[in-house]
Chains A and B, each alone.
Chain A
Amino acid sequence: MISKEKIRELEAMAVKLRRHIIEMTCAAASGHPGGSLSAADIITVLYFYKLRHNPKDTAWPERDRFVMSKGHAAPVLYAALAEAGYFPVEYLKTLRRIGSSLQGHIDMLSLPGIEMSTGSLGQGLSAANGMALAARLDKKGYRVYCLMGDGECQEGQIWEAAMTSSHHKLDNLTAIVDHNKYQIDGRVDEIKSLRPMPDKWKAFGWNVLSCDGHKIESIIESLEKAEKTKGKPTIIIAETVKGKGVSFMEENPLDYHGRAPTPEEEKKALSQLCQVEDFEI
């Protein structure tokens, strides 16, 4: 059982990540804050609770693998890696600058700790399958995690990969959908509906779970259920809110899919993302 203190600690970390997302996209004057904010709690649980990883040894063969298939949510991953100690937090301000390792979409060759380069949607799950198959071939116990966007599931390759995961009974793989209901052009339901999403994944042979993607306990509980599931891969459909944590982004998620906050908006956003450490015991 996870302690209340740990949960509070993780909640505080999620706030930190959200502040980083706002600050780094504002500094870059571009980037994707909306889908980064929606994934902040999921990424927090993965990097500060679930993943076995070592920032000092990024090539550790036994490490768990995380593939960020929705590569545009790079800011939240960079924020987590910085807070975990992969590189100094100050470096986050170089996001999207020429010469920076913090590319607009994630690049594994320029930043240690990244398992797969992404940005062209729909490709992460196939790579995650490859890693899970390799773990099996090498008789290694690491788990593979893959985070996808909901709009991303319109890509055909996702479903090719979904068949591969279940065909090979990859129970060492947990996929998560950041179900924030929006894509660039509008509501996913209006652009090209994915409903019924759980049934689709079930029909593709997956164990399907859902969670509140902004509730630490709910995310942890579903990840642990996934780990205990044998004989098939698990997907967690995480119900999330695009722009979560910043009122004016939540209210206008389409505007903030791929637009950074202005300095004025940054101030407003940061005032809503309170410094939780101030209240820590």
Chain B
Amino acid sequence: MSERKTAATRDAYGKVLVELGKENPNIVVLDADLAVSTKTSMFAKAFPDRFFDMGVAEQDMIGTAAGLAAAGKIVFASTFAVFGSGRAWDQVRMSVAYTRMNVKIVVTHAGITTGEDGASHQANEDIAIMRALPNMTVVVPADAVETEKAIRAAVKFYGPMYIRLSRPKTPIIYENADCDFQIGRGIVVREGKDVTIFACGLMVSESLDAAQILEKEGIRARVVDLHTIKPLDKELIVRCAQETGAVVTAEEHSILGGLGGAVAEVLVENEPVPMVRVGLKDIFGESGKPEDLLVKYGLTPADVAGAARAVLRRKK
């Protein structure tokens, strides 16, 4: 991994929730027996009256969140990504998305870096199934700084959101809190004109490291933090494709239906350019240390750099 400072996105979530709780008495937080892990326990401690631990019952948690939102509350509902997306998908679809409720589903332990808990706990399909829902906004912050901005933006935004966070500490991209986060607007974090790497979450840092590797070979890679998977920043994607002529996507998620799928949809219809997707290749993960899993499943800076070289061979 890079030499950047690290912080866990879930820690940033827990901290900012407490600040927001002070600012806005209308915020209510739910969890499904994972408050210590998702860090909503910090809010629970500060505002016990506005926190409900729903027990091991994710479907009921999402339904209850919808009811609270129907009565005017801004509701944050947290659990692990596998449960918040998969276990409660129909509840999210029916009671939150279809009803356009002001519920923010903030999940942690997304992707393969969940690590030792193994495949059952590694959500690698959640972006795909959540972005398929009408009315749903899907955000994957790149680091702890952007997480704080995203959570603050979520409070100001009316409607359902799915915000995807990680378990381990991940590199800080936006030092000195220098992050102009706006829902639906990608951020160019490194300029370059040979190839564009669109990334989200931890893979933004990995892609920046990949760009350094490529630079030594004379390849100038542009890196875009595409934190909002839905609504997608189509304008930016098309512009980058036009300007660089080749695209790589990098996500800690299946290559099916996630960031890569979403970018491919835009490019095919608007600006077809050679493209390679970096992500889990339609496979379940396994137990192991996060850094070892990233290597085994092809999510390192070297993998992203390799994808860039491969796509450049196809560039016209």
Residue positions of A touching B, CB distance < 8 A: 61, 65, 67, 107-109, 115-120, 123-135, 137-138, 156-157, 160-161, 163-164, 167-168
Contacts and interface: CB of A to CB of B under 8 A. Distances in A.
B64 A135 contact: no
B50 A127 contact: no
A117 B134 CA distance: 15
10 contacts: A115-B70, A117-B95, A117-B98, A119-B94, A126-B59, A130-B70, A131-B70, A133-B68, A134-B70, A134-B72
A127 B66 contact: yes
Interface in B62-104: 62-73, 90-91, 93-95, 98-100
A163 B72 contact: no
B57 interface: yes
A61 B49 CA distance: 21
> 3 closest pairs, A vs B, by CB?
A130-B67, A126-B63, A134-B71
Given A137-B28, A157-B91, A117 B99 contact: yes
Interface string B31-59: 00000000000000000011010110101
A134 B102 CA distance: 14
Contacts of B68: 130-131, 133-134
Contacts, number: 108
Interface of B: 28, 49-50, 52, 54-55, 57, 59-73, 90-91, 93-95, 98-100
A43 B54 CA distance: 30
A126 B52 CA distance: 13
Main secondary structure, interface of A, reads: helix
B60 A126 contact: yes
B295 to A, nearest CB: 39
Given A108-B99, A109-B99, A126-B64, A118 B70 contact: no
A161 B94 contact: no
A116 B57 contact: no
Contact of B71 (A108, A120, A126, A131): A131
A134 B25 CA distance: 12
A132 B49 CA distance: 14
Contacts of A135: 71
A164 B54 contact: yes
B50 to A, nearest CB: 7
A133 B93 CA distance: 22
Contact of A160 (B60, B71, B94): B60
A118 B100 CA distance: 13
A129 B60 CA distance: 9
A160 B66 contact: no
A134 B73 contact: yes
Interface centre among A115, A117, A132 (most CB of B within 10 A): A117
Contacts of B72: 61, 134, 138
Contacts of B60: 126, 129, 157, 160-161, 163-164
